[in-house]
Each structure stands twice: as C-alpha cells, then as structure tokens.
Amino acid sequence: MSHLKKVFWSVLMLLSVAVITEASDLDKFDAEKGVLKIAGGTAHIPVMKEAAKMIMQKNSAIRITIAGGGSGVGIKQVGEGLIDIGNAGRKATEKEISQYGLHMVKWAIDGVGVIVNPKNSVTSLTTKQLNEIFSGKITNWKEVGGGDKSINLYDRDAASGTRSVFWKKALKKGDVSTKANIVVSNGAMKTAIAGDPYGIGYVSVGHIDATVAPVALDGVVPDLANVKNGDYKVSRGLYSITKGEPVGLARLFLEFLLSPTGQKIAESKGFISVQ
C-alpha cells in the first residue's frame, strides 16, 4: 500500500471513530420526547445551545429551551420547580442546597478575565490597581499608564456567578463603585467594552475574542492555558443543577454534557473539560 493510501485510511478510521463516539453519545435520546427547560448562568449558554441543537437534530420529539438570567436566577428557578436545569457559575450555597434539595453537576472549568477595548494601551494591572479602579479610587487611565481619559466601569448584577467569582478572587471582596454601569450577561459585557474605548469590565475567559483585549493580572494573562495550569487564579467551575437527583431528559442531558462529545463541545466554546 502506498504512503498516500495509508494516510487516507488512517484519517478515515479516525473520522469513523469520532462519528461513532458522537452517535453513541446521542443514541440514548432516540426513544425520548418532551420539553426540557434550562436557564441561569450566561457563560454556559454557548455550550447549552450547541448541545441542545445536536440533541434536537437527533430527535425532533425533544424540545429544549435555554434562557439566561444569571446564576442566582438559575438556582432559584430550578429550586422553585420553574425549570428543569439551572445553570450556575458558582457552587450553590449550603443554604440553597438545604432549602431546595439541589443536586450539582460540574461539567467544565472557566476563568474570569479583565477586558478593555483593543484601542486601550493598558495591557496589565496589579491586583491593587484593579481594586482601586473598581472601588473608584483610580478614575483616570493615566494613573495606570494609559491615556488621559476617564475610566468607564462595567459590572454585573448581584445574581451573576461571573461577578461572584470576580469579586471574591480578583477584587478580594473589595468595594465596587456605585457608578459602575451594570450589564446583564457575558455577551452584553463584551459588546459594551468593544464599543467603549475607555471601558473596563470582565467576562468568562471563553468569551474573550478579538473584539476585546484581555488584561494581565499581576503579570498573568487570562487565557485557557493559564487557567488550566493554575497560574491564573480567578477561575471557577461551571455547574448545572437540578432539584433532587436528575431524572428523565434532565439526567440524559447532564450525562451528555459529561460524555466525550459534550466535553468536546465545552472545549470548543473556550472552557476546560473535566473528564
């Protein structure tokens, strides 16, 4: 057999394995039908949408709805029985677990990184500088090596798991200025900073792209490699939560997220797999 033929058959075999793996991960949905309601953390949405699309293409008798609202909303709504799966970028508290009887599944790891507009010359901050910017003590970019322009702060609402991790691990539970502009999701934050040359905010590392610029914190760039190797400390698990042990479509969906195909989806959306 020629070298080219060997290469062809090797590639064909690899593709076959990939297709078989994907098909077997989805086969469990063949005999199912019904509606699955998912809501909560916005960092989760790209993975949720991709997983839902694959499942519904496999079986048109299944309908999966996905909404945001933030981690707090996801936990509250699943606890109150309004949805089947609540997404959260933080662990449910002991109080929430005992109040609602929650069950958590961690299916990926994510970092939360500071971002600015690509036109901004500031590419690195210390933890102290970041705290002073978000508390309102530093109000001009020239104080941290940038241009002579006022800093526009962007923050998330209290229900956000992204905010919770950022406040605890990056800001060390420091004060946040009441003058900050509040945005409702990772996507909205990215859009806001992309449109504001003097803005500063933060997003899930998986959401960082060319429309915004990551800011190194204490010399460490918020990217997947640094989150994975532990050098970048502002990180968190991504959780999907049910009221009690998951059953039916919710159980199958969570199993799919942890399957080889589900973990590949998480990686393709900028997260770190847990399997």
CA-nearest of 70, 91, 88, 144 to 114 is 144
In three-state secondary structure terms, 77 is helix
Report, at the CATH architecture level, how domain 111-235 is classified.
3-Layer(aba) Sandwich (3.40)
Please tell me whether the overall predicted TM-score, pTM, comes out greater than 0.85 for this model: no
In the predicted model, what is the mean pLDDT of residues 194-211? 96
Q: What's residue 22's pLDDT?
A: 60
Q: Domain boundaries in the chain?
A: 3-110+237-273, 111-235
- The yes-or-no verdict on residue 215 having pLDDT over 50 is yes
- When pLDDT is cut at 50, 70 and 90, the band that residue 275 belongs to is confident
Kindly list the distances between the CA atom of residue 209 and the CA atoms of 78, 93, 142, 151, 232, in Å, as whole numbers in the listed order: 31, 32, 25, 22, 18
DSSP string, 44-71: THHHHHHHHHHHHHH-TTEEEEEEEE-H
CATH 3.90.1150.10 fits 3-110+237-273, yes or no: no
Q: Do 3-110+237-273 and 111-235 agree at the fold level? A: yes
In the predicted model, what is the mean pLDDT of residues 134-140? 98
**Tens digits of residue pLDDT in 222-257:** 999 999 999 999 999 999 999 999 999 999 999 999
